[in-house]
């Protein structure tokens, strides 16, 4: 005879293919609390390549535009990032899990089907944003933001504001609500055990 423990588990949201870092999982009755983390504050380290845009707004996609970067400086990047602090209007990328007429946006894109209507911009909150590193055509920055903010769109819009193009090449979520890298578990069988799962 065997005693089996069945755990129902879900993750709080779909994430970017390039994303790493904190991902909130619900186990058992904790699944009911996951919706609380969709709109909570989050922190990211974003890495971007300037001078090129892609159809997915990240390095997974096809390069569709090339732009000049000779005028870019660390001061200009810092100044541009500061302009995005606060409540801003942001249009989600077409390669996203948002639905339009019952169909995921990325399904329209992958099937090469025209959208029935334009993607509507929405209001998002950037609480803090600061440059971490700038070198040539690469930069990284730290962002604290509210739920529903797309880092790929932020990179795209930031690059356009500087008179060039850009796309995201890396994304690390360092905090989601009360969870951060220091109190997170690695997704492997050694760490994901019943005694290690803390109930909040």
Q: What residues form DSSP beta bridges with 168?
A: 48, 58
Catalytic residues: 16
Nearest of 74, 56, 76 to residue 65 by alpha carbon: 56
Q: Are 126 and 36 spatial neighbours (Cβ–Cβ below 8 Å)?
A: no
The conformation of residue 121, written as its DSSP 8-state character, comes to P
Closest CA to 149 of 66, 87, 106: 87
Number of C-alpha atoms within 13 angstroms, CB side, residue 142?
A: 7
| Spatial separation of the C-alpha atoms in residues 159 and 92, rounded to whole Å | 16
Burial class of 148 by CB neighbour count within 10 A (0 to 12, 13 to 18, 19+): middle
Residues 6+ apart with CB under 8 A from 168: 16, 18, 46, 47, 48, 57, 58, 59, 151, 152, 155
């Amino acid at each position: 005879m065997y005693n089996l423990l069945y755990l129902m588990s879900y993750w709080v949201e779909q994430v970017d293919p390039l994303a790493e870092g904190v991902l909130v999982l619900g186990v058992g009755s904790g699944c009911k609390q996951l919706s609380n983390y969709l709109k909570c504050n989050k922190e990211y380290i974003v890495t971007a390549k300037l001078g090129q845009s892609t159809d997915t707004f990240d390095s997974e996609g096809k390069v569709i535009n090339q732009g000049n970067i000779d005028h870019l400086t660390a001061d200009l990047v810092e100044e541009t990032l500061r302009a995005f602090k606060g409540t801003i209007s942001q249009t989600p990328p077409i390669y996203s899990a948002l639905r339009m007429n019952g169909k995921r946006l990325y399904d329209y894109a992958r099937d090469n089907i025209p959208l029935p209507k334009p993607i509507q911009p929405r209001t998002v909150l950037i609480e803090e944003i600061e440059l971490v590193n700038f070198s040539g055509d690469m930069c990284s920055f730290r962002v604290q933001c509210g739920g529903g903010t797309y880092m790929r769109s932020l990179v795209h819009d930031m690059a356009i504001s500087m008179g060039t193009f850009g796309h995201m090449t890396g994304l690390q979520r360092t905090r989601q609500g009360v969870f951060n890298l220091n109190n997170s578990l690695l997704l492997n069988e050694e760490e994901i055990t019943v005694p290690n799962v803390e109930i909040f």
